[in-house]
């Protein structure tokens, strides 16, 4: 959500988004809001973000996650 200020536009951030601000995926990092999932491999990049393979540290189950990254 975007809110217009005096002369600038500022983004309103809800509390659920705070821990993902400025987070970038990398091998070995845990996923915000999913601390038991560790990124293990970068699988690809496309127009909407990146695809990563991750493993659950408790069960060793493999899963694929998509990271939506804003380009600067």
Per-residue pLDDT of 25-40, as tens digits, reads 889 999 888 889 999 9
Residue 55: φ, ψ to 5°: -125, 140
Between 64 and 19, residue with greater pLDDT: 64
Between 48 and 3, residue with greater pLDDT: 48
Residue 18: φ, ψ to 5°: -55, -40
């Amino acid at each position: 959500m975007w809110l217009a200020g005096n002369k600038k536009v500022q983004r309103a951030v809800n509390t659920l988004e705070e821990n993902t601000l400025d987070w970038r995926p990398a091998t070995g990092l845990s996923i915000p809001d999913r601390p038991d999932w560790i990124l293990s491999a970068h699988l690809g990049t496309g127009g909407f973000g990146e695809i990563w393979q991750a493993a659950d540290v408790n069960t060793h189950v493999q899963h694929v996650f998509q990271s939506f990254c804003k380009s600067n």
